[in-house]
């Protein structure tokens, strides 16, 4: 048997090292190429998929975020609207897209928290297939009443009035399992109240019936609520954010009115497919952190009746955990179900 000083042993070791060298070089160059690809990201146009039609509030904030993100990344970011099925069409599309950071999703409570307990079957798993990049906007919702139908001055009187008329005070929602439906039922549970639910297929006929006195109240977006309050057609009792909003500065929050669990605005975030490379994800999240801290972006959202809620990925994932528990309870409590 050869020893360490045996020429045959030295020659064998030299041959093994020479044979391994190309493999090591290949592995190194492959790793270097991958790192370089992450460092160079992005090298082409990004697509931000919006789960709502063009022209709505979600589309508006999606385009504001896309414009600001493009400036940060130095590449164009286009918004692609894929509406339908409560956001499931858009979510499934992005979940199946390459996890390269070039296809991102705008997602709110429906996709990330409500749809899983609401739908019997989904083509995607939001918790496993998406990573939270950044919050892009929160949209306060406002509890508005027809004061002729529900003759109260404030939220405390509203609770007392509903308790004195259990099941008689009606409210409109955007449908079974919608955010407006679930929020109202969580308010009912927290306040020990019972309402009469009237679901609608859209907000326009709902608001017509509210103004006409065929409904008692509803939750609606702050932009529309502020306009209708100014016109005198409805009265605002409370907002669903943790702090009061500028457009309705004299209207209290549900949180300060004794409902701490109802910090429940509509919100939208950007998420990426979960397999995205760490260096690409870091580039995205840092860029969005700069976007949400930008005075220009904050001002643009303010004009769109929305607010900025800066949130890094860790805080976002923690928020999603709380939201999933909250909305699962709401869906379970109401017994709401939906079908594709």
Q: Report the alpha-carbon distance of residue 327 to residue 183 in Å, rounded.
A: 9
Domain ranges of the chain: 46-139+265-334, 141-248
pLDDT score of 167: 97
pTM greater than 0.85 = no
Three-state SS at 315? helix
Determine the pLDDT at residue 173.
93
In what helix (H) or strand (E) does residue 278 lie, and over which residues does it extend? Answer: helix 278-292
What percent of the chain lies above the pLDDT cut of 90? Answer: 74
The answer to whether 214 and 146 are in contact (CB under 8 A) is no
Express each pLDDT in 62-99 by its tens digit.
999 999 999 999 999 999 999 988 899 999 999 999 99
Q: What is the number of other CB atoms lying within 10 angstroms of the CB of residue 242?
A: 17
Nearest alpha carbon to residue 257 among 205, 213, 191: 191
Closest by CA to 68, choosing from 252, 334, 231, 308, is 308
pLDDT tens, residue order, the chain (340 aa): 444 445 454 455 455 444 544 544 444 444 444 445 567 999 999 999 999 988 888 899 999 999 999 999 999 999 999 998 889 999 999 999 999 999 999 999 999 999 999 999 999 999 999 999 999 999 999 999 999 999 999 999 999 999 999 999 999 998 889 999 999 999 999 999 999 999 998 788 999 999 999 999 999 988 889 989 999 999 999 999 988 988 899 999 999 999 999 999 999 999 999 999 999 999 999 999 999 999 999 999 988 888 898 999 999 999 999 999 999 999 999 899 987 5
**In 10 A of CB 329, how many CB atoms?**
15
Write out the two tokens for 201: 């297929």
Q: How does strand 46-50 pair with strand 77-81?
A: parallel
311-316-320-323 Cα dihedral, nearest 10 degrees = -20
Instruction: Decide which of 2.130.10.30, 3.50.50.60, 1.10.10.10, 3.40.190.10 is the CATH code for 141-248.
Output: 3.40.190.10
Please give the DSSP secondary-structure letter assigned to residue 252: P
All residues at 6 or more sequence positions from 288 whose CB lies less than 8 Å from its CB, including other chains:
65, 69, 72, 133, 134, 136, 270
Question: Residue 114's Cα: distance from chain center in Å?
Answer: 11
Phi-psi region at 101: left, alpha or beta (left = phi > 0; alpha = psi -120 to 50): left
pLDDT of residue 108: 95
At the topology level of CATH, where does 46-139+265-334 sit? D-Maltodextrin-Binding Protein; domain 2 (3.40.190)
Q: Given CA atoms 200, 202, 203, 207 in this order, what sign does their dihedral have?
A: negative
CB 340 within 8 A of CB 91: no
How far is it, in rounded angstroms, from Cα 264 to Cα 240?
Answer: 5
Dump pLDDT digits (tens) for 224-261: 899 899 999 999 999 999 889 888 999 999 999 999 99
| Cα–Cα distance measured from residue 319 to residue 333, given in angstroms and rounded to the nearest whole number | 21
Among all chains, which residue has been given the structure tokens 């199946």? Answer: 96
**Are domains 46-139+265-334 and 141-248 of this chain identical in fold?**
yes
Instruction: With CA atoms as reference, report the closest residue to 284 among 156, 172, 130.
Output: 130
pLDDT at 246: 86
Q: What is the DSSP string of 188-200?
A: HHHHT---EEEE-
Q: What is the pLDDT of residue 82?
A: 96
The pLDDT of residue 136 is 97
């Amino acid at each position: 048997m050869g020893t360490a000083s045996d020429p045959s042993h030295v020659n064998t070791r030299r041959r093994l090292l020479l044979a391994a060298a190309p493999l090591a070089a290949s592995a190194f160059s492959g790793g270097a190429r991958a790192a370089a690809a992450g460092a160079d990201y992005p090298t082409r146009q990004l697509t931000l998929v919006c789960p709502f039609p063009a022209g709505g509030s979600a589309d508006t904030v999606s385009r504001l975020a896309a414009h600001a993100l493009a400036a940060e990344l130095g590449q164009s970011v286009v918004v692609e609207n894929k509406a339908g099925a409560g956001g499931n069409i858009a979510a499934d599309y992005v979940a199946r897209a390459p996890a390269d950071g070039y296809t991102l999703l705008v997602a709110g409570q429906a996709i990330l928290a409500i749809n899983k307990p609401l739908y019997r079957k989904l083509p995607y798993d939001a918790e496993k297939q998406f990573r939270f990049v950044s919050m892009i906007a929160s949209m306060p919702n406002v509890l508005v009443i027809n004061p002729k139908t529900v003759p109260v001055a404030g939220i405390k009187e509203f609770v007392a009035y509903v308790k004195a008329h259990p099941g008689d005070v009606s409210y409109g929602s955007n449908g079974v399992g919608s955010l407006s439906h679930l929020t109202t039922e969580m308010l009912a549970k927290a306040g020990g109240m019972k309402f009469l639910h009237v679901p609608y297929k859209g907000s326009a006929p709902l608001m017509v019936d509210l103004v006409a006195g065929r409904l008692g109240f509803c939750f609606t977006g702050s932009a529309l609520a502020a306009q209708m309050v100014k016109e005198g057609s409805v009265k605002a009792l409370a907002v669903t954010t943790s702090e009061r909003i500028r457009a309705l500065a004299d209207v209290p929050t549900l949180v300060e009115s004794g409902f701490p669990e109802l910090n429940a605005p509509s919100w939208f975030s950007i998420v990426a497919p979960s397999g995205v490379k760490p260096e690409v994800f870091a580039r995205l999240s840092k860029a969005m952190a700069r976007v949400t801290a930008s005075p220009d972006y904050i001002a643009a959202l303010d004009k769109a009746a929305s607010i900025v809620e800066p949130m890094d990925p860790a805080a976002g994932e923690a928020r999603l955990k709380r939201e999933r528990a909250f909305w699962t309870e709401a869906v379970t409590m109401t017994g709401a179900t939906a079908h594709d």
